Each structure stands twice: as C-alpha cells, then as structure tokens.
A and B are shown apart, each in its own frame.
Chain A
Amino acid sequence: MYDFDYHKPSSVADAVKLLSADPDARAISGGQTLLPALKHRLNRPTYLVDLSGIAELKGVKREGDKVTVGALTRHIEVQNSPEVKSAIPALAHMAAVIGDIQVRNRGTIGGSVANNDPAADYPSAVLGLGATVVTDKRRIAADDFFQGMFTTALEPGELLTAIEFPIPEKAGYAKMRNPASRYVMVGVFVAKTKGGVRVVVNGAGPGVFRQTEMEQALSANWSPDAVAGIKQASEGLNSDIHGSAEYRAHLVTVMAKRAVADAG
C-alpha cells in the first residue's frame, strides 16, 4: 500500500470535518473492502479517518416499529443481536451468512451499505425492507440511496451514521455464493411490510434492484409457488467465468422461492 496519514476522531462532527477537508481522504470502519484495495494499491488516500473510536455510531436499538442499527455495528453483532433476531430474523440470518467468521468480526453494516458492492449482502435488506439511511446531514430513503455499482446518494464528506429498519410482517433472504470469492452470486431478499411486498435482487446485476413482477405475485399470494413461474430477464445481468447472465437470471427465481419459503 501507499503511505497515508491516519486520524482517529471520537465524534461524528470531527470525522465529518476531516472527511470534508480533503476529497482524497477515506473513512475506514471494518476495512473489509478498503484494506484489500489499499494493499493492491488500487486506492491512494491522503489520509484515513478511522471511525472505530466514535461511540455514537455503535449499537442496535429497537424503538416502536423500527430497529436502528448504528453504522459501526459489526456483522457478528447484528447476527447475535436479540433485538434483530426477534424483530427481523431475516436480517440476523443475512448477517450470519456474510463472508466468513473473520469478515463478520470486522466488517460493519455502514461500510457495506455505503460501499454498495453489487455482490454485498446488506444493500438488498436495506432496499427490501424500505429502510432509511441516516447520515450526519439527512435521512435518505433506501429507494433513493442505491444508484448502481459502488454508487450511492452519499455526497463527498457525508457520513452514514445509522440505518433504520421498519419491522416487517415477514422477511426472508436466500443466496447462492460465488464458488471462488464466496461473495453473493445471486441473492434475493423478500419482505412483506406495511408499505407492501418487496423483492430485491443482489449479486446478479450491477447493483441491487427490485423485482416488481415477483412483488405483485407475492402481494396476491405469499408463497414460493407464486414466484416459481416468474422468470427474471437476463438482459443487463452479470456474466463471467462463474456463470452466464441466463444462469443468474434462473437463480433469481430459485433464490426468490427459497427466500419466501424461509421467510419468518
């Protein structure tokens, strides 16, 4: 990696000040994406702003009909959180199947959502549950937040601080892992919420997207059979040495069925 300076602020305000001061500064939390990029010299920040000392970004709270997860909450903490497990078991399940135990012990929900890797897990839950992304400046609806591969509504210097998940009636998540990287090859998050049914696909395309045909079918009949006959179009999906766009399109239906069957 290239040399960089290092700062460890203890408040959101200080972190934002540091990040706003230099467009080449980078925030780091769990480092599960940024550190490998630094090691491969794919990223050359002037300085890193280590968020791990900011207490206000940590922890899980259940308030009324929502669960708020601080940006710095690690996957393992979401996986084991009694609040998440009782209110949104699908989210705890998703956290439990991210990467491996080493990744889950380091990676944070804020880092995953802000990075918006198409092969990440969390973005599908955020969009699928119609969550709200909270930053130091504003509240952003999930529908407005994800803007394609590695792109979000976050502005330079803006810091994601928490995610508010409305508690759904039911939700489920199923995925097929890439056989090499074990990132998501195709994942589907399904949720039945007050705002309606959502079906969100991750891994298969350049970013998370809603599968509206499946949403309509599940609204009429919440069962695996309802989506079994719905084919995802392969246009625009990823195609590589691990599988064609057609294969990924097929897996969308398979994973949607599994997600509905497993939904709790």
Chain B
Amino acid sequence: MNVVAPFEGIGASVRRKEDLRFLSGRGQYTDDIARPGQAHAYILRSPHAHARILKVDTAAARAMPGVVAVYTGEDTKGLGGIPCGWQLHNKDGSPMAEPRHPVLAEGKARHVGDPVAVVVAETRAQAKDAAEAIEVEYEVLPAVPTLREALAPGAAQLHDAAPGNLCYDWHIGDKAVTDAAFAQAHKVVRFETTNNRLVPNAMEPRAAIGDYDPTTGEHTLWTTSQNPHVIRLLMGAFVLNIPESRLRVVAPDVGGGFGSKIYHYAEEAIVTWAASKLHRPVKWTADRSEAFISDAHGRDHVTTCELALDETGKFLGLRVDTLANMGAYLSTFAPCVPTYLYATLLSGVYAMPTIYAEVKAVFTSTVAVDAYRGAGRPEATYLLERLVDVAAAETGMDRVEIRRRNFIPTDAFPYQTPVALQYDSGDYFSTLDAALETAGWADFEARRAEAAKQGKLRGIGISTYVEACGIAPSAVVGSLGARAGLYEVGTIRVHPTGSVTVLTGAHSHGQGHETTFAQLVADRLGVPLSQVDVVHGDTAKVPFGMGTYGSRSLAVGGSAMVKAMDKVVDKAKKIAAHLLEASVQDIEFERGTFRVAGTDRTKALAEVSLAAYVPHNYPIEELEPGLEETAFYDPKNFTYPGGCHICEVEIERDTGKAQVVNFTAVDDVGRVINPMIVEGQVQGGVAQGIGQALMEEAVYDEAGQLLSGSMMDYSMPRAEDLPMVGVANHVTLCTHNPLGVKGCGEVGAIGSPPAVMNAVVDALREFGVRHVEMPATPAKIWNIINAGAQRMAAE
C-alpha cells in the first residue's frame, strides 16, 4: 500500500531533499563543470562610463601565450542585439526607444563594464594576461550616471535612437478624475523620495560554458540562469539564429538569483558563439568585481507623489510621478518593472478611488537595471507606506488607524483597483491584527522608555502591503507589451513500478523546489516522498518552461503539475476500471489507491502503472500504454499575497547606528506546502529588505565610476545586522488556481523596507524628522541627530 505519511504531505515542514548534496559539497554549479578541451574566455570591459571606441588593437594580445582567439565588436556586429522581452508604449501611443544592445560594444562604450573585447585562451590567467595587452583607444565622453543628469537639457546622448536619453514616457490611470479628486481634497500630502539602487550579489557569480558538436550541429550552453528555456528562446531566435531543436540550455545548480539571473546576458551569447567558431568548449566565470559591473542592478527610482485626503482621513486619490533608471541598455524585463510591476500596485491595500501615475524610463551611463527580488512592488510599497505614515503625521491621525480606515474591506473581494489589477482575495485586517498582537504594538512605549534610559532612540514602524505575483496571464501581459507568454509547464511521469519523476519548467536556485514540488506530487498521488524526484533546468529534459521569478513557481508551475496529475489520474482511472472490471464512473482515487466506489476492490497506483507499461491485460484498443502527462497552465490572474510587517529599531544616539531589534512578519501567501521553506523565504526576503533600508546602495560618481564596486564599499547585511524574524501566516486562499497558493518568494523584500524606515523615522521623531532616505546609514542618521540637536540648541 502506498500511503503518504501525513508528515511529508502538503503542510509538513519536510527537510529539504536538495540539502544533502549542497551541504556535502556535491552541488554541481556551472563553474564546477569542466568540458573536455575547454578554453577560457575573459572579457575586457570598458573602464569608462561613456566613450567612443576609436581603435582596438588586438595584435599583441593574439601573440600572447595560450591565446586561441580575440574578438571585438567588429567580429560580432553581424549577430543580433541582446533582445528586450517587453515593449512599452509612450503616452502618445508610439513605441518606446529600443536602441541596439550589441553583444560586444560597437563604436561606443556606455557604462563601466560594457564588454569591449573577449579573449579566449587555454587558461583563464592567460586570457586575462592577453586582455591586458589589448590596446583600446577611447575618446572619453561626458557621463550621465543619474536620472536627473541624463534628462537635463543638453545632456550627453547615449544612443542615437533614444533622443534625450528617454526610453519611454508612460502613464496609467485617469488624470482628469484624479485631478478632480485633488480639487475636492481636504488635505494634500506631498512627498518625494529616491528608491536606492541595489546590487543583487547572489552568492554564486554568473558563469557560462558554450559547447558545439560540429557533427550534429548541436549547441549547448550551461549557464547560471533562472529560466533556461527563456535563454534558449532569446539567444537562439534573436542573437545567434540557432533553431531551438539545435540549442540545449542547461541551468544546473544555481547559487541564488534574486532576479539577476533571469536575463539573457551577452556573455552567454559570446561563449556559445565562440564555441561554434572554435569547435571547442569555451567557459566564462565572473569574479565578484566583474559581477558588480555586469549583473543587472535593481530599483533606482526618483519619485514625487501626492495623496489627497478628506477630513476623516479617507484617501481620495493618488498622483505619482516617477523617473526610473534603465541603465545603458534595456535588460530583458527592464521596461515592465517600473510600469506594470510598479504603477499597477500603487493602490496597495487601500480603497483608493483614483490614481494617476506617470513614469519616465531613462537611459544612463550605468549597468542595466532590471527586476530584483520584488521588482517594482517594493518600490510601490515603499512609496505608499512611507506616504501613508507622512500623511498620518501631518493629519495627526494614528498610523494604524489611518491604514485600517482605508483598507479594502474583506468582503469587497474580488476588488478592482483603478490601476488595472483585480485582487482576488485578501484579509488585511486579520494580518494587521495578528502582527500588532505578535509585535506587542500596544506596549511599545514602555520599550521606548526603557531604551531611552540606555541612551538609545527606539522606534516602531508598520507596513501593510499587497503584491501581485504568480506571473502571469499570457493574454494580459501580451496586451501590456510582453513578447512572451507566462504560463508554466509540468510533466508527471509515473514509472512502471510507481515511482514518479516530475519535470518542471520552473527553476530552483535556492527555493527548495525539489522538496516542495515533491511534497505536492506525493500528497496528490499518494506516493511516498522518497519516490518522487523533480527534474528542472535542462531544455533537453524538460519540455518547455518560462522559469522562476515573480514568485510564480508554485502558483503557476505547481498548478501545471496539478493539471498534469489530473490527466494522469483520469487515464489511470480508465486502466483501473479495466483491471477491476468496473465502470470508470465508479472508480474513486484517494491516497494512491483506486477503488470501486462502495466496495473493497482496489488497485494501487503502482499496479495501475505497471499495467500501463506492461499492457498484457489492458484496454489497448481505446488507451495508449504508458502513464505520463504534460500540462501547460496559464494563470487566470496574478496572485495577491499581502500582509503586515512591523519593525523595531534602536539607534545609538552618539554614532547614529540603527539596529533592527525586533521584526514581525505576518503574511498571507495562500496555502502553504512547506512552512519551514516559506519561513526561510520570508526571512531571506526580510534580510534583503533590511539591507536596502539600512545598508545597501550602489553609488556612482560624476564620471560614472561605481564607487561601491566591491564588498569593501557595498554594505551587505550580515548575520549580526539581522534580528530573529518572527514569521506567521494568515491564509486566505487564492481563488483562481487549483492549489489556492499565492507565492512567498518576494513578500519579505516587499513588505519590510517601509516598516524599517517608518521605525527609523519614529525613533528620530524628537528631532522633527519628516523623512529619512534609504539607506539609513549611521552617518546619515547622525547628521540628522546632529542637525536636530544644533537646531534645538539654537531655539
């Protein structure tokens, strides 16, 4: 009998199956792979933020020991440009500016780190030595590293195809209705802020190996990717002109992505192309310094916003004007991040009658900016949740009460926002109440007073949020400019003796899919967890897939598995009916057993699968042998996780150092398959949110040099910077997918930054502070304390 022990099914905190290989050093990452005869690529990158390339002399480099080949933009100019996956339109309906993104720079370098030449040599060190011998003559042009500099009249132009460095000028919502709401307002609260630019810094730097078999014409790319099928599509179809049938992309174990490994990068095309030219494998591995100037960065918005309120504190409308940094070239998802993943979330958890948002996307002489954990939704949540706190302060309302008063009522779902989205479910009052209770909100003042005795400033902050994930309905995103569908694919392969292999187009790079998906399948099919294995990350094994990002793996990928399992069970019921000599309508399936309803006549799944593969006694006229089904699942809507985060900070008065001392996250991520994994996902997201709020910032100088270009100057949070994060769930089920799941990968990074910053502002309230920009570093906070103290002394 195959009976699932209850502790390993849906809802059980099963230990991660994949951890045995990771913890014992047996993970197989791209850089661990050594192909026979492989050569090594090193990429020479521009040291200038903006420069004309007058001459590249590779003669000396070619003569260096071990050098196999040297390529420049002259060699790759016949290749396609790196494609962008989204096309946005301007207010006037014209398409966004989409300048060519060459594989290697053609005539001009547009950011520090822009690839200018590639050396392929027998060893990595030889390639690096030879790269130093390449002579590049640059004519340095003025850099435009910041949004305001790039948009300034007379600013240096990065692309001929993007006048004024403008990518697009986009808007959403009803301007006239919103203006009318503001005209009626009792009070208007204005607020301006910058969402700080971040460097993703996954633990594993990017790497890629290209290989080519001249006898079959098959290309293979191993790459650190979150979505190998997408890379196959983008690189094969747009850059290298290789049919999918002859291009295999493998994303083996990948050490974290956070979005930065979604995109198709030039290095992937370079190694694949070079391997086919040289007829030998070519490997490239970034070091950390290279990652800082070549991985897509995140965030980087400058925003002005206004909130209109009536005399009771009810929100009447919201106006938002955002500048979003695209970097020097459009990365795969970049145009949609500050629009459809940001402006559509500006209603937040509130019944906001009307919204009008304008977004200008801007090219700058910096590395590309694209989705980073949360992608647009952290920026929207931060803006709104800081704005609501500012509004509370300026109207004299309580911070919790103003939120409660404006929440979307729990009985109002499905709820249509004025910015396109329709939230299917949620219960913001319950997550708020649970968080207030757990965090001890009511007795905070005692803790503040206690801290004051120790000379510390203690503050508490709250953030209530909703996000849209589980992306996404293909027709919807298609109408918004996506150049791909966003369904997911799952295959359930029941083997003859009843074990199961699951093929998924989702990709695990830290999320624990091999465990969660196995639990889901084990639970549904009634197979022991140990007999379910999950395969992902290889286009030669998995039929198709769109990959993992936007907290979509379970909501979309898991739903595809459910659909495939439904097909498997349907077929298996027919086989069981034959074996049990019963009518298929009378067959029930439960916990791995097929039963003739109301009798004790049963067949186990393994008996049915054996019959399917050894069809001696089998309805062969009407049913094919075998028990394997594939399903494509296209979601009906986004999913809408939401919740409440509460943070307490203590600030050292004399140094300005803020320490998070308490953090409570109560999230509604829908049904939970593995609570331990969900808790880990939330904690990891909160760690990154605290990093953004207090520590992390990519800083460019006027010349476009990345000042925070290494761990010496880019402040990543460490264990000692983080509190124990209390995580709890309050579940409302997603109404439109078969599992009722919503997604948990990004909520931590979305909900936490405003909770931290609201706590920082609260801690500094005695200094008359209205707002503190992220990251709230010790020096920045001390400046506020010092200025406040001097002002008070003067008064």
Residues of A at under 8 Å CB distance from B? Answer: 1-3, 40-41, 176, 179-181, 183, 240-244, 247, 250-251, 254
Contacts and interface: CB of A to CB of B under 8 A. Distances in A.
B708 A241 contact: yes
B778 A180 contact: no
B654 A180 contact: no
A254 to B, nearest CB: 5
Contacts of B713: 180-181, 240-242
Interface in B688-702: 695, 697, 699
Interface residues of B, number: 25
Contacts of B707: 240-241
Contacts of A254: 654-655
B286 to A, nearest CB: 14
A179 B720 CA distance: 11
Contacts of B716: 180
A1 B124 CA distance: 10
Nearest to B132: A41
Given A242-B779, A244-B779, A247-B782, A179 B695 contact: yes
Interface in B627-672: 654-657
Interface string B573-612: 0000000000000000000000000000000000000000
Given A3-B125, A240-B713, A241-B699, 8 more contacts: A2-B129, A41-B128, A179-B778, A181-B713, A243-B778, A244-B783, A247-B783, A250-B786
B194 interface: no
25 contacts: A40-B289, A176-B657, A179-B695, A179-B715, A179-B778, A180-B712, A180-B714, A180-B716, A181-B712, A181-B713, A240-B713, A241-B699, A241-B713, A242-B777, A243-B778, A243-B779, A244-B779, A247-B656, A247-B779, A247-B782, A250-B782, A250-B786, A251-B655, A254-B654, A254-B655
Given A181-B711, A241-B699, A241-B713, A176 B779 contact: no
B399 to A, nearest CB: 28
A244 B289 CA distance: 25
A205 B134 CA distance: 38
Interface string B449-478: 000000000000000000000000000000
B779 A180 contact: no
Contacts of A244: 779, 783
A179 B777 contact: yes
Contacts of A250: 782, 786
Nearest to B782: A247
Nearest to B128: A41
Nearest to A257: B654
A242 B786 CA distance: 16
A176 B655 contact: yes
A40 B778 CA distance: 30
A104 B178 CA distance: 61
A251 B695 CA distance: 19
A251 B654 CA distance: 8
A101 B95 CA distance: 55
Contacts of B783: 244, 247
Nearest to A251: B655
Q: What are the 7 tightest A-B residue pairs by CB atom distance, in nearest-first order?
A: A243-B779, A180-B715, A181-B712, A179-B715, A254-B654, A247-B779, A180-B713
Contacts of B711: 180-181
A32 B345 CA distance: 47
B158 to A, nearest CB: 25
B788 to A, nearest CB: 14
Nearest to A179: B715
A187 to B, nearest CB: 13
B751 to A, nearest CB: 23
Contacts of B782: 247, 250
Interface string B711-733: 11111100000000000000000
Nearest to B786: A250
A262 B289 CA distance: 39
A250 B712 CA distance: 23
Contacts of B777: 179, 242-243
A50 B125 CA distance: 23
Contacts of B657: 176
Contacts of B712: 180-181, 183
Nearest to B779: A243
A245 to B, nearest CB: 11
Contacts of B779: 242-244, 247
A26 B779 CA distance: 37
Interface in B768-794: 777-779, 782-783, 786
Nearest to B129: A2
A33 B707 CA distance: 20
Nearest to A254: B654
A29 B48 CA distance: 36
A3 B708 CA distance: 29
A161 B778 CA distance: 39
A177 to B, nearest CB: 10
Nearest to A186: B655
A32 to B, nearest CB: 13
A242 B657 CA distance: 12
B791 to A, nearest CB: 16
A9 to B, nearest CB: 27
B45 to A, nearest CB: 14
Nearest to B656: A247
A180 B655 contact: no
Contacts of A3: 125
